[in-house]
Amino acid sequence: MTSHQSTQTMKPATAAKKLGVYLQATPAEFREGVVTRAELNALQTDPPQWLQELRRDGPHPRPVVAQKLGVSIAGLARGGVTDALTTEQIEALKQEQPEWLVKERAIQAEVRKEAARLKQRNAERAAQRS
C-alpha cells in the first residue's frame, strides 16, 4: 500500500502573513495563485529579490510596523496609523517621536513589565508547589 500525501496549499494572504510582507505589494503571480508548503519554505530559506526588497523597504503590514515601532497593533490604530508603511516612513516616525508614539511605547513597556511580573510570580508559585 502506497501512501499518497496531498500537497498542502494556502491562500496568498496566509503566505504573505507568514512571510511578514504586505500582500498588495507582492507580485501579481504571487497574489493570484496558491502557495504550497514547499514553495513557502523555499521563499523563507532562499527569498527572491522581490521578497528581499519588500522585507527591507516595505510597505510593511501593520504587525511588522507595530513591531518596528515598539507598540501594539491597537496602539497603531489609536495613533491613526491604519495603512501599511514603508521603512522610510517608519524611520521618520521614530525621528519625529509624535506624542501618540511616545504614549503607546510607554503603554507597551508597562504591558511587558506586567507580563514579566506575572511570569515571575507564577514561577515562584510553581516552585513552592514542588
For residue range 3-30, list pLDDT tens digits in order.
555 678 889 999 899 998 999 999 988 8
Decide if 2 is inside a domain: no
Which residues make beta-bridge pairs with 85? 60
Euclidean distance between CA atoms 114 and 108, whole angstroms = 10
Do 52 and 68 share a structural domain? no
Do 119 and 80 share a structural domain? yes
Give pLDDT tens digits for 92-128.
999 999 999 999 999 999 999 999 999 999 999 988 8
Is the Cβ–Cβ distance between 57 and 86 less than 8 Å? yes
Q: Which pTM does this prediction carry?
A: 0.75
Q: Tell me which of 57, 79, 95 is where a domain ends.
A: 57
Is the Cβ–Cβ distance between 100 and 79 less than 8 Å? yes
Do 119 and 90 share a structural domain? yes
Do 19 and 65 share a structural domain? no
Do 67 and 53 share a structural domain? no
Decide if 1 is inside a domain: no
Q: Residue 79 is part of which domain span?
A: 58-129
Is the Cβ–Cβ distance between 76 and 62 less than 8 Å? yes
Do 40 and 92 share a structural domain? no
- Residues whose CB is less than 8 angstroms from the CB of residue 28 and which lie 6 or more positions away in sequence, other chains included: none
Decide if 71 is inside a domain: yes
For the CA atoms of 91, 96, 97, 100, what is the dihedral angle to 10 degrees?
-100
96 phi-psi bin (left φ>0, alpha ψ -120 to 50, beta other): alpha
Do 63 and 45 share a structural domain? no
The terminus-to-terminus CA distance of the chain in angstroms comes to 50
Do 69 and 123 share a structural domain? yes
What is the count of structural domains for the chain? Answer: 2
Give pLDDT tens digits for 29-75.
888 888 889 888 888 999 999 999 999 998 999 999 999 999 999 99
